[in-house]
């Protein structure tokens, strides 16, 4: 492997990792607050892909992107209101089944509305612009993704650390009931959390699908699982952790594919999950938590 | 007393129902040419009933949320398929890359067995291999909390699917081309099409019921209710979770093998995550923690999916008016909405964690009478209290 192909794979890996990072933040935020794996998050991400196809059919990309983000946010918040909120006090397994139900519904709905055949993803002209860096040729999206990811993560961290809303979020994730007693409007915090997660998933989906070129009703499943693993790897509940996890998973996957082990790239992701859960269940940057009776 | 009468009556009734079912199956089997749909639904229903009860064992009885069903089913299906495809036609199945030598030698070694025995051996081997896999991945995975366990098992099933389709295994699983020419349940004369799957299903479910009613089953339920309390009572958590997981995957693999025989041709796409979700739908609607609920719901869901509600997927005209919404895929949307409605509003499903019993059914009229009497008495009490209040004023 020559140096320039190595750099090429690095860039691809970092770019894929950036998209993963944006999606895994959605998992980490929701898990941090509700202790729920939002199985539907992967399918929200998939739906964002379809939204983009339809938005680009009638609008230029400058208008289409905000529309897609808005539509995805609405979808995420509606799902939370309809499928998770009524089950706040239900047993954990019911909530998880509800999340799976939403995922199943979104997949079947997408198959019904858009057919199971892959739909071509529209090209966003500036993202596809080819640039030359020495001997490495790459498209602009590869360079924009990591920069945008890091910017968004910094922004989100500022929001969580230094705003009143962020304080409410941290309080809710520490102790659901006490923060309710302190007058925090739980439902509003949860809704905003879903909104942030969905918006990031929408941006992630634009960056991810621009490289993949097509969307199917099931194209969310595998990235979704990997991003959850990324969130666990970085430490569930930790935003920078999710970003680091996303980058690690993305780069590992790209290199495994580059060396011809694409069959095992999915398997390795889950090996990561099992190893991290045995060795360091709190993840790389997670806080130590003790199980309460 | 009536309750005692019912208790004496219930084995007689059960026996009568089983006999009737047997006669029905035999008669239907003789007229299967004109009842293809019913036969197919009953076959698939029996297969999914095994899968659903097997999924209920860890999820409904032990409280471990496992989503690896599709993976175990594909192990069972592939092993059954490879071992039962007739040796003389196997070259035509693997026409792209040929059969691996060791697969051929296993097949040759088993060639002497008569067909029914071969099927049985193939199903058992599939089950044993799947339980070995379950045992190995259970050691790390069953230590995790419920949601991590769900993701890890889901990931495991996706890994199995990726491996089955991988070019490295082309000479064993035929890669992405899948396997065909799998013999069905029926013998050449067409007998056994229904009796064989029902017999296998009955044996599998019977064994699982025995496990559930044993002391192990009671330990499973204790873990489901409160694992910390169960551990404090001296139940070895990991051992029991492992046991439940391994038994479940054994029978899941057998149902997978039966599915291969029902479908006659399989490929890795058959065993996507959505297969697990289909079974979860059956379990949730039947009631988590109810064997009879799972069985009833397996047949109900299969019948409505494949037969009664089939028209959802076709455009339908009433006179000149086209019924809106009906086209390919609508059926599955309806079923996913049904799952959501059950989870949100009828969390107990059909049966909750109760089992079907004749005493409940026969006792119904008496209980209704009693309830009516109770409400009447309550109403009379309320009226009296009201009157009393007036007098006080």
Q: What is the DSSP string of B171-211?
A: HHH-GGG-B-----SS-TTSTTTTHHHHHHHHHHHHHHHHH
For residue A129, give every residue at least 6 positions away whose Cβ sits within 8 Å of its Cβ, in sequence order, or none.
A139, A140
Instruction: Give the per-residue pLDDT at A237.
Output: 84
Q: Which residue of B lies nearest to A109 if distances are taken between CA atoms?
A: B333
Task: Give the residue, B328 or B45, on which the prediction is more confident.
Answer: B45
pLDDT at A44 over 60: yes
Report chain A's mean pLDDT, rounded to a whole number: 89
CA B141/CA B149 separation, integer angstroms:
6
In chain B, what residues touch A229 (CB-CB under 8 Å)? 151, 155
Instruction: Give the per-residue pLDDT at A293.
Output: 45
Report chain B's mean pLDDT, rounded to a whole number: 87
In chain A, what residues touch B156 (CB-CB under 8 Å)? 270
Instruction: Give the per-residue pLDDT at B388.
Output: 58
Helix (H, G, I), strand (E, B) or coil at A138: strand
Instruction: Give the per-residue pLDDT at B69.
Output: 94
- Would you call B151 and A37 a contact, using CB atoms and an 8 Å cutoff? yes
DSSP string, B363-391: HHHHHHHHHHHHHHHHHHHHHHHHHHHHH
Instruction: Give the per-residue pLDDT at B4.
Output: 62
Q: Which residue of B lies nearest to A95 if distances are taken between CA atoms?
A: B343
What 8-state DSSP symbol labels residue B320?
A: T
Helix (H, G, I), strand (E, B) or coil at B45: helix
pLDDT at A290 over 60: no
B93 in Cβ contact with B180 (< 8 Å): yes
For residue B223, give every residue at least 6 positions away whose Cβ sits within 8 Å of its Cβ, in sequence order, or none.
B62, B63, B230, B235, B237, B240, B241
Does the model's pTM come out above 0.90?
no
- A76-85, A137-146, A237-246, B211-220: which has the minimum mean pLDDT? A137-146
Average pLDDT (B217-235) is 93
Q: Which two tokens stand for residue A291?
A: 């199980």
Radius of gyration of chain A (CA): 19
pLDDT at B393 over 60: no
Instruction: Give the per-residue pLDDT at B188.
Output: 66
ipTM (interface pTM): 0.86
- pLDDT, one tens digit per residue, over B90-123 is 888 888 888 888 888 888 888 888 888 899 999 9
Instruction: Give the per-residue pLDDT at A292.
Output: 44
Residue A131 backbone phi and psi in degrees, to 5: -125, 155
What 8-state DSSP symbol labels residue B304?
A: I
Chain A neighbours among B 357-386 (CB < 8 Å)? none
Which helix (H) or strand (E) is A174 found in, with range?
A: helix A164-174
pLDDT at A227 over 50: yes
The residue extents of the domains of chain B are: 35-183+190-356, 361-393
CA B9/CA B14 separation, integer angstroms:
9
- Measured in angstroms, the CA of A272 and the nearest CA of chain B are apart by 10
- pLDDT, one tens digit per residue, over B148-164 is 888 889 888 988 888 88
Residue B234 backbone phi and psi in degrees, to 5: 95, 15
Average pLDDT (B230-235) is 92
**Long-range contact set of residues B26-30: C-beta below 8 Å, sequence gap at least 24:** B26/B195, B28/B194, B29/B190, B29/B191, B29/B192, B29/B193, B29/B194, B29/B195
For residue B103, give every residue at least 6 positions away whose Cβ sits within 8 Å of its Cβ, in sequence order, or none.
B82, B171, B172
DSSP string, B2-19: HHHHHHHHHHHHHHHHHH
The confidence band for B2, taking pLDDT boundaries of 50, 70 and 90, is low
CA B5/CA A193 separation, integer angstroms:
59
Task: Give the residue, B371 or A58, on which the prediction is more confident.
Answer: A58
What 8-state DSSP symbol labels residue B266?
A: B
Chain B neighbours among A 59-118 (CB < 8 Å)? 83, 86-87, 90, 92-94, 96-98, 100-105, 107-109, 111-113, 115-116
- pLDDT, one tens digit per residue, over B298-353 is 999 999 988 888 888 777 787 777 777 778 888 889 989 998 999 899 888 888 88
Average pLDDT (B198-211) is 95
CA B213/CA B211 separation, integer angstroms:
5
% of chain B with per-residue pLDDT over 90: 44
Task: Give the residue, A290 or A12, on which the prediction is more confident.
Answer: A12
Q: Which residue of B lies nearest to A97 if distances are taken between CA atoms?
A: B343
Q: Which two tokens stand for residue B265?
A: 């041709």
Chain A neighbours among B 49-68 (CB < 8 Å)? 59, 63, 65, 67
**Which architecture, in CATH terms, is B35-183+190-356?**
Orthogonal Bundle (1.10)
A25 in Cβ contact with A230 (< 8 Å): no
CA B217/CA A292 separation, integer angstroms:
26
Q: Which two tokens stand for residue A279?
A: 């060795």
The residue extents of the domains of chain A are: 21-220
CA B130/CA B151 separation, integer angstroms:
19
For chain B, say whether A268 makes contact (Cβ under 8 Å): no
For chain B, say whether A257 makes contact (Cβ under 8 Å): no
CA A247/CA A244 separation, integer angstroms:
5
For residue B256, give every residue at least 6 positions away whose Cβ sits within 8 Å of its Cβ, in sequence order, or none.
B51, B72, B73, B74, B75, B76, B77, B80, B126, B130, B271
The confidence band for B3, taking pLDDT boundaries of 50, 70 and 90, is low
Chain A neighbours among B 234-273 (CB < 8 Å)? 272-273
Strand partners, A133: A136
The confidence band for B390, taking pLDDT boundaries of 50, 70 and 90, is low
CA B168/CA B272 separation, integer angstroms:
20
């Amino acid at each position: 492997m020559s140096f320039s192909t190595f750099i090429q794979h690095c860039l691809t890996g970092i770019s894929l990792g950036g998209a993963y990072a944006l999606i895994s933040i959605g998992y980490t935020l929701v898990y941090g607050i509700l202790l729920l794996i939002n199985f539907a998050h992967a399918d929200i991400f998939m739906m964002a892909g379809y939204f983009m196809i339809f938005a680009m059919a009638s609008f230029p990309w400058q208008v289409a992107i905000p529309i897609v983000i808005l539509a995805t946010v609405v979808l995420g918040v509606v799902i939370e209101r309809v499928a998770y909120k009524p089950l706040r006090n239900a047993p954990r397994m019911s909530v998880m089944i509800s999340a799976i139900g939403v995922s199943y519904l979104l997949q079947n709905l997408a198959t019904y509305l858009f057919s199971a055949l892959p739909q071509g993803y529209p090209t966003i002209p500036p993202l596809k612009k080819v640039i030359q860096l020495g001997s490495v040729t790459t498209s602009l999206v590869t360079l924009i993704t990591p920069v945008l990811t890091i910017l968004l993560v910094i922004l989100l961290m500022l929001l969580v650390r230094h705003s009143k809303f962020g304080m409410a979020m941290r309080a809710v994730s520490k102790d659901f009931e006490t923060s309710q007693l302190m007058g925090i409007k739980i439902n509003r915090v949860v809704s905003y959390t879903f909104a942030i997660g969905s918006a990031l998933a929408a941006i992630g989906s634009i960056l991810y699908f621009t490289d993949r070129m097509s969307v199917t009703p099931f194209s969310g499943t595998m990235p979704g699982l990997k991003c959850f693993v990324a969130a666990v790897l970085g430490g569930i509940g930790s935003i920078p952790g999710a970003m680091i996890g996303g980058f690690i998973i993305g780069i590992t996957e790209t290199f495994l594919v580059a060396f011809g082990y694409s069959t095992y790239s999915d398997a390795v992701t889950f090996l990561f999950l099992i190893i991290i859960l045995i060795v360091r269940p709190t993840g790389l940057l997670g806080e130590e938590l003790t199980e309460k009776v | 007393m009536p309750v005692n009468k019912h208790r004496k009556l219930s084995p007689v009734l059960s026996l009568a129902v089983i006999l009737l079912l047997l006669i029905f199956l035999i008669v239907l089997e003789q007229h299967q040419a004109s009842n293809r749909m019913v036969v197919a639904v009953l076959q698939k229903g029996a297969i999914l009933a095994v899968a659903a009860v097997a999924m209920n064992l860890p999820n409904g009885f032990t409280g471990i949320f496992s989503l690896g069903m599709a993976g175990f089913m594909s192990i069972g299906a592939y092993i059954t398929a490879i071992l039962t495809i007739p040796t003389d036609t196997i070259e035509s199945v693997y026409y792209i890359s040929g059969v691996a030598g060791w697969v051929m030698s296993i097949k040759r070694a088993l060639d002497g067995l008569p067909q029914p025995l071969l099927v049985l051996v193939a199903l058992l081997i599939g089950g044993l291999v799947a339980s070995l896999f379950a045992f190995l991945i259970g050691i790390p995975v069953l230590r995790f909390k419920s949601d991590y366990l769900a993701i890890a098992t889901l990931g495991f099933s996706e890994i199995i699917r990726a491996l089955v389709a991988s070019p490295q295994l082309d000479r064993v699983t035929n890669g992405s081309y899948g396997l065909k020419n799998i013999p069905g349940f029926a013998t050449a004369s067409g007998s056994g099409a229904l009796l064989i799957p029902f017999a296998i299903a009955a044996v599998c479910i019977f064994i699982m019921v025995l496990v559930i009613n044993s002391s192990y089953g009671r330990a499973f339920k204790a873990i489901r209710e409160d694992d910390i309390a169960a551990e404090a009572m001296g139940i070895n958590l990991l051992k029991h979770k492992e046991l439940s997981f391994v038994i479940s995957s054994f029978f899941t693999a057998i149902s997978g093998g039966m599915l291969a025989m029902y479908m006659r041709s399989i490929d890795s796409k058959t065993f996507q995550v959505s297969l697990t979700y289909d079974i979860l739908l059956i379990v949730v609607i039947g009631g988590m923690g109810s064997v009879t609920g799972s069985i009833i719901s397996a047949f109900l869901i299969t019948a409505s999916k494949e037969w009664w509600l089939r028209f959802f997927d076709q455009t339908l005209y009433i006179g000149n008016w086209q019924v809106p919404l009906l086209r390919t895929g609508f059926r599955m949307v309806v079923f996913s909405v049904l799952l959501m409605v059950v989870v949100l509003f009828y969390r107990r499903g059909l049966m909750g964690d109760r089992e079907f019993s004749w005493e409940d059914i026969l006792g119904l009229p008496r209980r209704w009478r009693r309830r009516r009497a109770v409400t009447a008495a309550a109403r009379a009490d309320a009226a009296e209290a009201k009157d009393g209040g007036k007098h006080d004023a």
